[in-house]
Structure 1
């Protein structure tokens, strides 16, 4: 993916957050020191009701489009994503996991509202990786399914903050794993696609059950058709991508 240009911010300004905020937050997280919550996203009108979608929803395979503008409605979506993430007891949530085909994700390694650091990464790019580390992962779009995933131990990544500033940071540990997991989502890749064949075989019955449930709900008219999903994606992309 080519590098996205600067973000276009509307007149509804979010709380100013400089490079030092993100760098200090990331440093604390990397060292395992989770302080009190510092909110990056200002409150906004929530004009879209979101919910976490489950595998094999087509949007999860969609390569998300870079965000070109941030407005009050998008900030409302971001705030709602944090609420959904906490309710599902997660630590990261990508936009396409709530059906939004845009390149951003939210993250809080504490996994609880009022704790840790709430971070928003817009148009993230991983430019360099080093080392290797295997650990168990799960996914809010495949709740209850877990498996080992081998990933680089350290990554250099860059992203935009909600106020339009760009930053670059080297991270490791759980922070690096979460960044890679969520960035994969934005590229249409789920963690089960990173698992080795033997490990995937062990959880295949659970994955198959999600596919059966999806098809049943679709046949009952309880999930949108591919045409409806595409129309919604086109509307969102026309406004923000």
Structure 2
């Protein structure tokens, strides 16, 4: 079944993803499919739990264009040594149409593995650092509006309610499984990779 971006309030978006223990051909195929989906959706990053996979992996290309810029497939990231702070507008493929200002560190140190299972270490700054932090937040079940001030986040409330109404109505019609069923399916993936 092809991967699809899931939308708020899908329960996997709040799931704390499990570390990947095995990199194989199937996981590489998933990473390639995530990159394609990210480009198709006009994004610059996509976390595995945004495609209903509860594993600690995300993909990034700061240009958002296939064949341009550098692609990253990041597995089991750890973000340390935050320095400085800056505010910038963020959006999210799982929260279409919603944006808000988020304060994040200007630079961070990232330790992870790439899709070949090789160690990845880098100090990132600016926009690229912001993308990595945003995607890493997804792996912890954190959404960008969780990092906004209460006043700023309250401005997003009508949009969040609209997404919730749409999601729940699709559950009522049966086109989306119940929250309980969605959560139950997560164990199949964690058993396979974690």
Q: TM-score range by the shorter chain?
A: over 0.9
Does structure 1 residue 232 correspond to structure 2 residue 172?
no
Q: Who is 1:216 aligned against?
A: 169
User: Structure 1 stretches of 5 or more lacking a match?
Assistant: 1-47
Q: Who is 2:15 aligned against?
A: 62
Does structure 1 residue 185 correspond to structure 2 residue 138?
yes
For 1:76 and 1:224, locate their aligned partners in 2 and report how far apart those are by CA, in whole Å.
Answer: 25
Specify which of 99, 115, 132 is matched with residue 68 of structure 2: 115
Larger Rg: 1
For 1:169 and 1:83, locate their aligned partners in 2 and report how far apart those are by CA, in whole Å.
Answer: 24
Flag the structure with more relative contact order, 1 or 2, with Cα contacts below 8 A and sequence separation at least 6.
2
1:134 is paired with a residue whose SS is: strand
User: How far is 1:228 from its partner?
Assistant: 2.4
2:77 is paired with a residue whose SS is: strand
1:230 is paired with a residue whose SS is: helix
Q: Who is 1:80 aligned against?
A: 33
Q: How many aligned residue pairs are there?
A: 194
Q: Who is 1:167 aligned against?
A: 120
For 1:148 and 1:218, locate their aligned partners in 2 and report how far apart those are by CA, in whole Å.
Answer: 31
For 1:224 and 1:128, locate their aligned partners in 2 and report how far apart those are by CA, in whole Å.
Answer: 40
1:106-155 deviations in Å (ceiling 9; x for gaps) = 00011011111111000000121010000000000001100000011110
TM-score by length of 1: 0.79
Query: Where has structure 1 moved over 6 Å in runs of 4 or more?
Result: none
TM-score by length of 2: 0.97
Structure 1, 90-99 or 164-173: larger mean CA deviation: 164-173
Report if the CA contact (8 A) 2:11-2:183 is conserved: no
